[in-house]
Protein backbone atom coordinates (compact mmCIF):
# COMPACT_ATOMS: atom_id res chain seq x y z
CA UNK A 1 0.00 0.00 0.00
CA UNK A 2 1.08 3.60 -0.48
CA UNK A 3 1.58 6.12 2.29
CA UNK A 4 0.24 9.54 1.38
CA UNK A 5 1.98 12.41 3.12
CA UNK A 6 -0.47 15.30 3.28
CA UNK A 7 1.29 18.64 2.87
CA UNK A 8 0.45 21.79 4.78
CA UNK A 9 1.61 24.52 2.44
CA UNK A 10 2.63 23.01 -0.90
CA UNK A 11 0.74 21.32 -3.73
CA UNK A 12 -2.03 18.75 -3.56
CA UNK A 13 -1.20 15.27 -2.26
CA UNK A 14 -0.97 12.30 -4.53
CA UNK A 15 -4.26 10.53 -5.32
CA UNK A 16 -5.46 7.92 -2.84
CA UNK A 17 -4.30 4.54 -4.12
CA UNK A 18 -4.65 1.17 -2.43
CA UNK A 19 -1.93 -0.95 -3.95
CA UNK A 20 -3.50 -4.42 -3.67
CA UNK A 21 -6.38 -3.04 -5.76
CA UNK A 22 -3.97 -1.16 -8.03
CA UNK A 23 -2.48 -4.55 -8.94
CA UNK A 24 -5.93 -5.63 -10.14
CA UNK A 25 -6.21 -2.45 -12.18
CA UNK A 26 -2.83 -3.21 -13.75
CA UNK A 27 -3.98 -6.78 -14.42
CA UNK A 28 -7.09 -5.50 -16.17
CA UNK A 29 -5.00 -3.29 -18.44
CA UNK A 30 -2.59 -6.11 -19.26
CA UNK A 31 -4.83 -9.17 -19.46
CA UNK A 32 -8.31 -7.80 -20.11
CA UNK A 33 -11.52 -8.35 -18.14
CA UNK A 34 -10.88 -11.99 -17.13
CA UNK A 35 -7.78 -13.42 -15.51
CA UNK A 36 -6.89 -15.56 -12.54
CA UNK A 37 -4.91 -18.44 -11.13
CA UNK A 38 -5.30 -21.59 -9.14
CA UNK A 39 -7.58 -23.65 -11.40
CA UNK A 40 -10.98 -24.87 -10.27
CA UNK A 41 -10.48 -23.85 -6.64
CA UNK A 42 -8.50 -20.67 -7.27
CA UNK A 43 -9.42 -17.03 -7.81
CA UNK A 44 -10.80 -15.53 -11.00
CA UNK A 45 -11.12 -11.78 -11.52
CA UNK A 46 -13.90 -10.35 -13.67
CA UNK A 47 -13.17 -6.65 -14.01
CA UNK A 48 -14.69 -3.66 -15.72
CA UNK A 49 -18.20 -2.42 -16.39
CA UNK A 50 -19.31 -5.25 -18.69
CA UNK A 51 -17.99 -7.84 -16.24
CA UNK A 52 -20.02 -6.15 -13.50
CA UNK A 53 -23.10 -6.18 -15.72
CA UNK A 54 -22.67 -9.91 -16.32
CA UNK A 55 -22.12 -10.77 -12.65
CA UNK A 56 -25.07 -8.72 -11.42
CA UNK A 57 -27.42 -10.13 -14.09
CA UNK A 58 -26.51 -13.79 -13.49
CA UNK A 59 -26.84 -14.30 -9.75
CA UNK A 60 -27.90 -17.95 -10.25
CA UNK A 61 -24.31 -18.74 -11.25
CA UNK A 62 -22.98 -17.79 -7.82
CA UNK A 63 -23.36 -18.38 -4.11
CA UNK A 64 -22.87 -15.72 -1.47
CA UNK A 65 -22.81 -17.99 1.57
CA UNK A 66 -19.54 -19.66 0.63
CA UNK A 67 -17.93 -16.41 -0.50
CA UNK A 68 -18.74 -14.53 2.73
CA UNK A 69 -18.42 -17.40 5.20
CA UNK A 70 -15.68 -15.51 7.08
CA UNK A 71 -18.29 -12.91 8.12
CA UNK A 72 -20.49 -15.43 9.92
CA UNK A 73 -18.69 -14.99 13.27
CA UNK A 74 -19.93 -11.38 13.25
CA UNK A 75 -23.13 -11.33 11.22
CA UNK A 76 -24.43 -14.82 11.95
CA UNK A 77 -25.48 -17.67 9.69
CA UNK A 78 -28.80 -16.13 8.59
CA UNK A 79 -27.61 -12.59 7.74
CA UNK A 80 -28.54 -11.26 4.32
CA UNK A 81 -24.91 -11.16 3.21
CA UNK A 82 -24.56 -14.94 3.65
CA UNK A 83 -28.04 -15.85 2.37
CA UNK A 84 -28.85 -17.24 -1.06
CA UNK A 85 -31.90 -18.09 -3.12
CA UNK A 86 -35.28 -18.34 -1.44
CA UNK A 87 -33.83 -17.67 2.03
CA UNK A 88 -32.29 -14.42 0.83
CA UNK A 89 -35.47 -13.37 -0.97
CA UNK A 90 -37.65 -13.99 2.09
CA UNK A 91 -35.33 -12.27 4.56
CA UNK A 92 -34.73 -9.28 2.31
CA UNK A 93 -38.46 -8.74 1.80
CA UNK A 94 -38.86 -8.58 5.57
CA UNK A 95 -35.85 -6.29 6.14
CA UNK A 96 -36.42 -3.94 3.19
CA UNK A 97 -39.46 -2.02 4.58
CA UNK A 98 -37.41 -0.96 7.59
CA UNK A 99 -34.85 0.65 5.28
CA UNK A 100 -37.26 2.49 2.99
CA UNK A 101 -36.27 6.02 2.03
CA UNK A 102 -39.28 7.56 3.77
CA UNK A 103 -38.36 5.75 6.96
CA UNK A 104 -34.75 6.92 6.78
CA UNK A 105 -35.62 10.61 6.34
CA UNK A 106 -37.22 10.36 9.77
CA UNK A 107 -33.74 9.79 11.21
CA UNK A 108 -32.18 13.07 10.04
CA UNK A 109 -32.55 14.81 13.40
CA UNK A 110 -30.85 11.86 15.14
CA UNK A 111 -27.95 11.98 12.67
CA UNK A 112 -27.46 15.72 13.15
CA UNK A 113 -27.81 15.45 16.93
CA UNK A 114 -25.06 12.84 17.17
CA UNK A 115 -22.73 14.76 14.86
CA UNK A 116 -23.27 17.93 16.89
CA UNK A 117 -22.57 16.09 20.16
CA UNK A 118 -19.10 15.10 18.94
CA UNK A 119 -18.31 18.42 17.24
CA UNK A 120 -19.42 20.28 20.35
CA UNK A 121 -16.58 18.73 22.36
CA UNK A 122 -13.87 20.08 20.04
CA UNK A 123 -11.93 23.24 20.86
CA UNK A 124 -9.85 25.55 18.61
CA UNK A 125 -6.23 24.43 18.54
CA UNK A 126 -7.13 20.82 19.39
CA UNK A 127 -5.92 17.99 17.13
CA UNK A 128 -8.46 15.16 16.86
CA UNK A 129 -8.67 11.87 15.00
CA UNK A 130 -11.69 12.79 12.90
CA UNK A 131 -12.06 9.18 11.72
CA UNK A 132 -12.47 7.80 15.24
CA UNK A 133 -14.51 10.76 16.47
CA UNK A 134 -17.05 10.60 13.65
CA UNK A 135 -17.00 6.80 13.74
CA UNK A 136 -18.32 7.07 17.30
CA UNK A 137 -21.03 9.52 16.17
CA UNK A 138 -22.05 7.29 13.26
CA UNK A 139 -22.21 4.21 15.46
CA UNK A 140 -24.46 5.90 18.01
CA UNK A 141 -26.57 7.47 15.28
CA UNK A 142 -27.02 4.15 13.47
CA UNK A 143 -28.05 2.29 16.60
CA UNK A 144 -30.35 5.07 17.79
CA UNK A 145 -32.01 5.48 14.39
CA UNK A 146 -32.58 1.80 13.80
CA UNK A 147 -33.05 0.40 17.30
CA UNK A 148 -34.02 3.25 19.60
CA UNK A 149 -32.43 5.14 22.48
CA UNK A 150 -32.27 2.16 24.86
CA UNK A 151 -29.77 0.30 22.69
CA UNK A 152 -28.06 3.54 21.63
CA UNK A 153 -27.20 4.17 25.29
CA UNK A 154 -24.91 1.14 24.93
CA UNK A 155 -23.24 2.38 21.72
CA UNK A 156 -19.77 2.25 23.30
CA UNK A 157 -20.51 -1.25 24.60
CA UNK A 158 -21.41 -2.41 21.09
CA UNK A 159 -18.42 -0.61 19.62
CA UNK A 160 -15.94 -2.36 21.93
CA UNK A 161 -17.47 -5.82 21.50
CA UNK A 162 -18.05 -5.61 17.77
CA UNK A 163 -14.50 -4.36 17.25
CA UNK A 164 -13.22 -7.67 18.61
CA UNK A 165 -15.31 -9.41 15.96
CA UNK A 166 -14.33 -7.00 13.18
CA UNK A 167 -10.64 -7.47 14.06
CA UNK A 168 -11.15 -11.18 13.47
CA UNK A 169 -12.97 -10.94 10.17
CA UNK A 170 -10.76 -8.22 8.67
CA UNK A 171 -8.53 -11.05 7.51
CA UNK A 172 -8.40 -13.50 4.65
CA UNK A 173 -11.05 -16.26 4.98
CA UNK A 174 -8.46 -18.99 5.40
CA UNK A 175 -6.89 -17.05 8.27
CA UNK A 176 -10.27 -16.77 10.01
CA UNK A 177 -10.76 -20.51 9.55
CA UNK A 178 -7.35 -21.18 11.10
CA UNK A 179 -8.17 -19.03 14.14
CA UNK A 180 -11.44 -20.91 14.57
CA UNK A 181 -9.86 -24.35 14.22
CA UNK A 182 -7.03 -23.55 16.63
CA UNK A 183 -9.25 -21.63 19.08
CA UNK A 184 -6.64 -18.89 19.29
CA UNK A 185 -6.85 -16.08 21.89
CA UNK A 186 -8.14 -13.80 19.10
CA UNK A 187 -10.95 -16.26 18.34
CA UNK A 188 -11.84 -16.72 22.00
CA UNK A 189 -11.99 -12.95 22.60
CA UNK A 190 -14.22 -12.56 19.58
CA UNK A 191 -16.59 -15.31 20.71
CA UNK A 192 -16.80 -13.84 24.22
CA UNK A 193 -17.62 -10.47 22.69
CA UNK A 194 -20.26 -12.04 20.45
CA UNK A 195 -21.92 -13.75 23.41
CA UNK A 196 -22.13 -10.42 25.26
CA UNK A 197 -23.62 -8.67 22.22
CA UNK A 198 -26.11 -11.50 21.72
CA UNK A 199 -27.23 -11.42 25.34
CA UNK A 200 -28.14 -7.75 25.07
CA UNK A 201 -29.78 -8.07 21.67
CA UNK A 202 -31.85 -11.15 22.50
CA UNK A 203 -33.13 -9.40 25.63
CA UNK A 204 -34.23 -6.42 23.52
CA UNK A 205 -35.82 -8.73 20.92
CA UNK A 206 -37.83 -10.42 23.67
CA UNK A 207 -38.84 -7.05 25.09
CA UNK A 208 -40.01 -5.94 21.65
CA UNK A 209 -42.00 -9.13 21.10
CA UNK A 210 -43.79 -8.46 24.40
CA UNK A 211 -44.64 -4.94 23.22
CA UNK A 212 -42.66 -3.03 25.80
CA UNK A 213 -42.97 0.75 25.88
CA UNK A 214 -41.14 2.61 23.08
CA UNK A 215 -40.65 -0.58 21.06
CA UNK A 216 -42.89 0.26 18.11
CA UNK A 217 -41.05 3.17 16.54
CA UNK A 218 -37.83 1.65 15.26
CA UNK A 219 -36.44 -0.98 12.89
CA UNK A 220 -36.20 -3.71 15.50
CA UNK A 221 -40.00 -3.65 15.80
CA UNK A 222 -40.30 -4.01 12.03
CA UNK A 223 -37.97 -7.00 12.05
CA UNK A 224 -39.73 -8.64 15.01
CA UNK A 225 -43.31 -8.09 13.86
CA UNK A 226 -42.90 -8.23 10.08
CA UNK A 227 -44.66 -11.00 8.14
CA UNK A 228 -44.30 -12.24 4.58
CA UNK A 229 -47.15 -13.13 2.23
CA UNK A 230 -47.53 -16.51 3.94
CA UNK A 231 -47.76 -14.94 7.38
CA UNK A 232 -44.29 -16.12 8.44
CA UNK A 233 -41.86 -13.83 10.26
CA UNK A 234 -38.22 -13.87 11.24
CA UNK A 235 -37.00 -16.05 14.07
CA UNK A 236 -35.18 -14.48 17.01
CA UNK A 237 -31.89 -15.71 15.51
CA UNK A 238 -32.73 -14.14 12.15
CA UNK A 239 -33.66 -10.85 13.84
CA UNK A 240 -30.38 -10.94 15.77
CA UNK A 241 -28.34 -11.59 12.62
CA UNK A 242 -29.98 -8.81 10.60
CA UNK A 243 -29.61 -6.42 13.55
CA UNK A 244 -25.90 -7.08 14.00
CA UNK A 245 -25.34 -6.78 10.24
CA UNK A 246 -27.10 -3.42 10.13
CA UNK A 247 -25.17 -2.09 13.13
CA UNK A 248 -21.71 -3.35 12.14
CA UNK A 249 -21.92 -2.55 8.43
CA UNK A 250 -23.79 0.67 9.18
CA UNK A 251 -20.88 2.24 11.01
CA UNK A 252 -17.86 0.30 9.72
CA UNK A 253 -18.25 1.26 6.06
CA UNK A 254 -19.91 4.65 6.59
CA UNK A 255 -17.23 5.88 9.00
CA UNK A 256 -14.51 4.90 6.53
CA UNK A 257 -16.26 6.87 3.78
CA UNK A 258 -16.69 9.82 6.17
CA UNK A 259 -12.95 9.94 6.84
CA UNK A 260 -12.14 9.94 3.14
CA UNK A 261 -14.73 12.65 2.47
CA UNK A 262 -13.07 14.89 5.08
CA UNK A 263 -9.67 14.08 3.59
CA UNK A 264 -10.78 15.05 0.09
CA UNK A 265 -12.53 18.21 1.27
CA UNK A 266 -9.37 19.36 3.04
CA UNK A 267 -6.93 18.48 0.25
CA UNK A 268 -8.94 19.67 -2.78
CA UNK A 269 -8.55 23.41 -3.37
CA UNK A 270 -11.69 25.36 -2.38
CA UNK A 271 -13.76 22.20 -1.77
CA UNK A 272 -14.39 22.88 1.93
CA UNK A 273 -15.31 26.48 1.18
CA UNK A 274 -17.71 25.48 -1.61
CA UNK A 275 -19.41 22.91 0.60
CA UNK A 276 -19.73 25.41 3.47
CA UNK A 277 -21.12 28.13 1.18
CA UNK A 278 -23.76 25.74 -0.19
CA UNK A 279 -24.77 24.54 3.28
CA UNK A 280 -25.02 28.13 4.49
CA UNK A 281 -27.14 29.17 1.51
CA UNK A 282 -29.52 26.20 1.75
CA UNK A 283 -29.70 25.68 5.51
CA UNK A 284 -28.34 28.68 7.33
CA UNK A 285 -27.52 27.43 10.83
CA UNK A 286 -30.12 24.65 11.02
CA UNK A 287 -29.60 20.93 10.39
CA UNK A 288 -30.90 19.53 7.09
CA UNK A 289 -34.47 18.29 6.81
CA UNK A 290 -35.94 15.87 4.25
CA UNK A 291 -36.70 18.64 1.76
CA UNK A 292 -33.11 19.93 1.89
CA UNK A 293 -31.21 16.84 0.82
CA UNK A 294 -31.68 17.24 -2.94
CA UNK A 295 -30.79 20.94 -2.75
CA UNK A 296 -27.30 20.17 -1.41
CA UNK A 297 -25.98 19.50 -4.92
CA UNK A 298 -22.27 20.00 -4.25
CA UNK A 299 -22.34 18.09 -0.95
CA UNK A 300 -24.13 15.19 -2.63
CA UNK A 301 -21.37 15.28 -5.22
CA UNK A 302 -18.80 15.10 -2.42
CA UNK A 303 -20.49 11.97 -1.05
CA UNK A 304 -20.75 10.27 -4.45
CA UNK A 305 -17.23 11.20 -5.49
CA UNK A 306 -15.86 9.86 -2.21
CA UNK A 307 -17.71 6.58 -2.76
CA UNK A 308 -16.32 6.44 -6.29
CA UNK A 309 -12.70 6.84 -5.26
CA UNK A 310 -12.97 4.89 -1.98
CA UNK A 311 -15.84 2.40 -2.33
CA UNK A 312 -16.81 0.48 0.82
CA UNK A 313 -16.00 -2.83 -0.87
CA UNK A 314 -12.76 -2.72 -2.87
CA UNK A 315 -13.48 -6.19 -4.21
CA UNK A 316 -16.63 -8.29 -3.90
CA UNK A 317 -16.43 -12.11 -3.93
CA UNK A 318 -18.77 -14.75 -5.32
CA UNK A 319 -18.47 -18.54 -5.25
CA UNK A 320 -19.01 -19.99 -8.72
CA UNK A 321 -21.52 -22.89 -8.69
CA UNK A 322 -21.81 -23.52 -12.45
CA UNK A 323 -19.31 -23.32 -15.29
CA UNK A 324 -19.83 -20.27 -17.49
CA UNK A 325 -18.09 -18.37 -20.26
CA UNK A 326 -17.30 -14.67 -20.37
CA UNK A 327 -15.14 -12.71 -22.81
CA UNK A 328 -13.98 -15.92 -24.45
CA UNK A 329 -12.84 -17.53 -21.20
CA UNK A 330 -14.42 -20.40 -19.29
CA UNK A 331 -14.77 -20.00 -15.53
CA UNK A 332 -15.14 -23.27 -13.65
CA UNK A 333 -17.50 -24.12 -10.82
CA UNK A 334 -15.65 -24.11 -7.50
CA UNK A 335 -13.67 -20.98 -8.31
CA UNK A 336 -13.93 -17.86 -6.21
CA UNK A 337 -14.81 -14.93 -8.45
CA UNK A 338 -14.00 -11.35 -7.52
CA UNK A 339 -15.23 -8.20 -9.21
CA UNK A 340 -14.03 -4.77 -8.18
CA UNK A 341 -15.90 -1.48 -7.78
CA UNK A 342 -12.50 0.13 -7.11
CA UNK A 343 -11.19 -0.89 -10.54
CA UNK A 344 -14.38 0.12 -12.35
CA UNK A 345 -14.49 3.51 -10.63
CA UNK A 346 -10.98 4.39 -11.87
CA UNK A 347 -11.31 3.53 -15.55
CA UNK A 348 -10.67 6.61 -17.75
CA UNK A 349 -13.07 5.34 -20.41
CA UNK A 350 -15.87 5.73 -17.86
CA UNK A 351 -14.60 8.58 -15.69
CA UNK A 352 -12.67 11.50 -17.25
CA UNK A 353 -9.72 12.42 -15.02
CA UNK A 354 -10.49 9.35 -12.90
CA UNK A 355 -7.99 10.04 -10.10
CA UNK A 356 -9.19 13.59 -9.45
CA UNK A 357 -11.78 14.40 -6.81
CA UNK A 358 -14.45 16.25 -8.82
CA UNK A 359 -17.78 16.56 -6.97
CA UNK A 360 -19.15 18.65 -9.83
CA UNK A 361 -19.10 15.59 -12.12
CA UNK A 362 -22.30 14.53 -10.28
CA UNK A 363 -24.17 17.78 -10.97
CA UNK A 364 -26.77 17.18 -13.71
CA UNK A 365 -26.76 20.90 -14.57
CA UNK A 366 -23.08 20.84 -15.57
CA UNK A 367 -22.01 20.47 -19.23
CA UNK A 368 -20.84 16.96 -20.01
CA UNK A 369 -22.73 15.37 -17.13
CA UNK A 370 -23.41 11.67 -17.65
CA UNK A 371 -25.40 9.53 -15.27
CA UNK A 372 -23.45 6.29 -14.75
CA UNK A 373 -25.17 2.95 -15.12
CA UNK A 374 -25.60 0.62 -12.15
CA UNK A 375 -22.75 -1.53 -13.49
CA UNK A 376 -20.46 1.52 -13.73
CA UNK A 377 -20.98 3.00 -10.26
CA UNK A 378 -21.55 0.35 -7.62
CA UNK A 379 -20.12 1.33 -4.23
CA UNK A 380 -22.85 -0.74 -2.55
CA UNK A 381 -22.85 -3.62 -5.03
CA UNK A 382 -25.87 -4.25 -7.21
CA UNK A 383 -28.50 -6.68 -8.33
CA UNK A 384 -30.59 -8.62 -5.81
CA UNK A 385 -27.80 -8.42 -3.21
CA UNK A 386 -27.30 -4.64 -3.33
CA UNK A 387 -26.57 -3.38 0.18
CA UNK A 388 -29.87 -2.85 1.96
CA UNK A 389 -28.40 0.03 3.95
CA UNK A 390 -27.14 2.12 1.03
CA UNK A 391 -29.70 4.92 1.42
CA UNK A 392 -29.05 5.09 5.16
CA UNK A 393 -25.31 5.40 4.53
CA UNK A 394 -25.48 8.15 1.90
CA UNK A 395 -28.04 10.09 3.96
CA UNK A 396 -25.91 9.85 7.09
CA UNK A 397 -22.83 11.00 5.21
CA UNK A 398 -24.67 14.00 3.77
CA UNK A 399 -26.22 15.08 7.07
CA UNK A 400 -23.06 14.73 9.14
CA UNK A 401 -20.87 16.43 6.54
CA UNK A 402 -23.35 19.30 6.44
CA UNK A 403 -22.99 19.78 10.19
CA UNK A 404 -19.21 19.41 10.03
CA UNK A 405 -18.61 22.06 7.35
CA UNK A 406 -21.19 24.41 8.88
CA UNK A 407 -19.77 24.28 12.40
CA UNK A 408 -16.01 23.87 11.98
CA UNK A 409 -12.92 25.03 10.14
CA UNK A 410 -10.31 22.29 10.00
CA UNK A 411 -6.74 21.90 8.80
CA UNK A 412 -5.01 18.69 7.83
CA UNK A 413 -1.53 18.44 9.39
CA UNK A 414 1.22 16.62 7.52
CA UNK A 415 0.80 12.91 8.16
CA UNK A 416 1.03 9.50 6.53
CA UNK A 417 -2.39 8.37 5.34
CA UNK A 418 -2.43 4.67 4.52
CA UNK A 419 -5.44 2.97 2.96
CA UNK A 420 -6.05 -0.51 4.31
CA UNK A 421 -8.66 -3.30 4.07
CA UNK A 422 -10.31 -4.79 1.00
CA UNK A 423 -13.62 -5.09 2.87
CA UNK A 424 -13.99 -1.46 4.01
CA UNK A 425 -11.09 0.67 2.80
CA UNK A 426 -10.19 3.08 5.59
CA UNK A 427 -7.19 5.17 6.69
CA UNK A 428 -5.07 2.71 8.64
CA UNK A 429 -3.95 5.08 11.37
CA UNK A 430 -6.99 7.32 11.33
CA UNK A 431 -7.06 10.91 10.11
CA UNK A 432 -5.76 13.73 12.33
CA UNK A 433 -7.16 17.21 11.85
CA UNK A 434 -6.51 20.47 13.68
CA UNK A 435 -9.59 22.40 14.76
CA UNK A 436 -9.12 26.03 13.71
CA UNK A 437 -12.58 27.27 14.62
CA UNK A 438 -15.88 25.88 15.85
CA UNK A 439 -19.32 27.43 15.68
**CA Rg value for the chain:** 22
Q: Which H/E stretch holds residue 337?
A: strand 336-339
Beta-sheet pairing, 34-37 with 43-46? antiparallel
Q: Which H/E stretch holds residue 5?
A: strand 4-5
Question: Rounded to an integer, what distance in angstroms lies between the CA atom of residue 382 and that of residue 435?
Answer: 38
Question: Rounded to an integer, what distance in angstroms lies between the CA atom of residue 207 and that of residue 326?
Answer: 51
Phi/psi for 60 (5° steps) reads -65, -15
CB atoms within 10 A of CB 50: 15
DSSP 291: G
- Is 10 annotated as contributing to ligand binding? no
3-state secondary structure of 247: helix
3-state secondary structure of 434: strand
Q: Distance between alpha carbon 171 and the CA centroid of its chain, in Å?
A: 17
DSSP string, 23-81: HHHHHHHHH-SEEEESGGGSEEEE-SHHHHHHHHH-GGGEESTTTTGGGHHHH-TTSGG
For the chain, what percentages of helix, strand and coil (3-state, to nearest 5) are there?
Answer: 55, 10, 35
Rounded to 5°, the CA angle 392-313-131 comes to 65
Number of residues assigned to the chain: 439
Give the strands of the sheet with 432-438, arranged side by side: 127-129, 432-438, 408-411
Question: Rounded to an integer, what distance in angstroms lies between the CA atom of residue 378 and that of residue 385?
Answer: 12
User: Is 121 within 8 Å of 413 (Cβ atoms)?
Assistant: no
CB atoms within 10 A of CB 117: 13
Helical H segments across 310-374, by residue range = 341-344
Angstrom distances, CA of residue 328 to CA of 29, 34, 56, 340: 17, 9, 19, 20
Instruction: Tell me the β-bridge partners of 336.
Output: 43, 319
Q: Mark the binding-site residues, compressed into ranges.
A: 387
Q: Mark the binding-site residues for heme, compressed into ranges.
A: 387
Amino acid sequence: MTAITTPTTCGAPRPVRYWPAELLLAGYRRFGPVFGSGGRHGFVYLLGAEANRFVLANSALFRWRDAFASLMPVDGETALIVSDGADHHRRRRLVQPAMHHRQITGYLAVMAENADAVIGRWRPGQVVDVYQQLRSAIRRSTIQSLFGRRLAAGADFFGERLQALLDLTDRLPQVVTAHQRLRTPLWRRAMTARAEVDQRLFAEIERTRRGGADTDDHVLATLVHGRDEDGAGLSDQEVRDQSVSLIAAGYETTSAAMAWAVYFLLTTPNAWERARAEVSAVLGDRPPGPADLRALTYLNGVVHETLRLCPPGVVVPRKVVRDFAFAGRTVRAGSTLLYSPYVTHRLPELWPRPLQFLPERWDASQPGYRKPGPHEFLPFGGGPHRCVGSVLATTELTVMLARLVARTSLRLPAQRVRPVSLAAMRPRHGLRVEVLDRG
